[in-house]
Structure 1
Amino acid sequence: MTDQGKFARFLITLSAVIVAGCALTVTIKVMNTDTEALYPPRLLDQETVERQAAEVARGPKNVSRDGVECPAAMEAEEGNKFDCRVRVGYNDKTVTVEVIDDQGRLSMNAS
């Protein structure tokens, strides 16, 4: 009977070690999880950005998106910069866009 008791205690101890190892593995996996997959980045509205770029390059009377090329999927993250190309007549103007804050406020300059 004593051998059965020792064997039972051994199995209980072994089970506890296996459970602890599994818990540690799960904890490490959770800590290394990419949070970006859980919370995708906020993107700027491309149509609005293109209209604003057109207004900066062409003036307030021609805010059509025709002839405006901005990158797709622009993140609303403070400090992000990108260029939009705006056709003005027969020439292209470059509008440099900078995201001022994570709420999507922008600063634009035409060159």
Structure 2
Amino acid sequence: MTDQGKFARFLITLSAVIVAGCALTVTIKVMNTDPEAFHPPRLLDQEAVELQAARAARGPKDVSRDGVECPTAMEAKKGNKFECRVLVGYNDKTVTVEVVDDQGKLSMNAS
């Protein structure tokens, strides 16, 4: 009977060590996870970007988004670049957009 009791205590101790090891592994894994993975990316306001692109290509008086095509779901991350197409009269102009800071400030150049 004492051999069975010793074996049972050994199994309980071994199980506790394995559970503690698993808990430690999970804790280390969670601590090393990128915090940005838990937050969706901040996206630029599509309408605001299109209005700015229209103004850059057509001038400050034309505030219509008609004829403006910009990519959707652009991340407000410093250094991101993309192009919008703006219809000016019967011609298309390309507006190069660059995100200047992580707050969504933009730089636009029409060509």
Query: What TM-score does the superposition give when structure 1 sets the normalisation length?
Result: 0.87
1:2 equivalent in structure 2: 2
* Identity score, percent: 86
Higher alpha-carbon deviation: 25-34 or 58-67: 25-34
Q: Which residue identity does 1:47 align to in structure 2?
A: E
CA distance in 2, matches of 1:79, 1:33: 24
- Could you list the runs of 5+ residues in structure 1 that have no partner in the other structure? none
CA distance in 2, matches of 1:32, 1:90: 54
CA distance in 2, matches of 1:47, 1:21: 52
Question: Residue 74 of structure 1: CA displacement?
Answer: 0.8
Partner deviation per Cα, 1:17-55 (whole Å, 9 max, x = no partner): 220232144235525656444101101100000000000
Q: How does 1:31-46 map to 2 (within 5 A)?
A: 31=31, 33=33, 35-46=35-46
Question: Residue 61 of structure 1: CA displacement?
Answer: 1.4
2:27 equivalent in structure 1: 27
1:61 equivalent in structure 2: 61
CA distance in 1, matches of 2:79, 2:20: 44
Does the alignment pair 1:47 with 2:44?
no
CA distance in 2, matches of 1:37, 1:14: 35
CA distance in 2, matches of 1:5, 1:57: 84
- Could you list the runs of 5+ residues in structure 2 that have no partner in the other structure? none
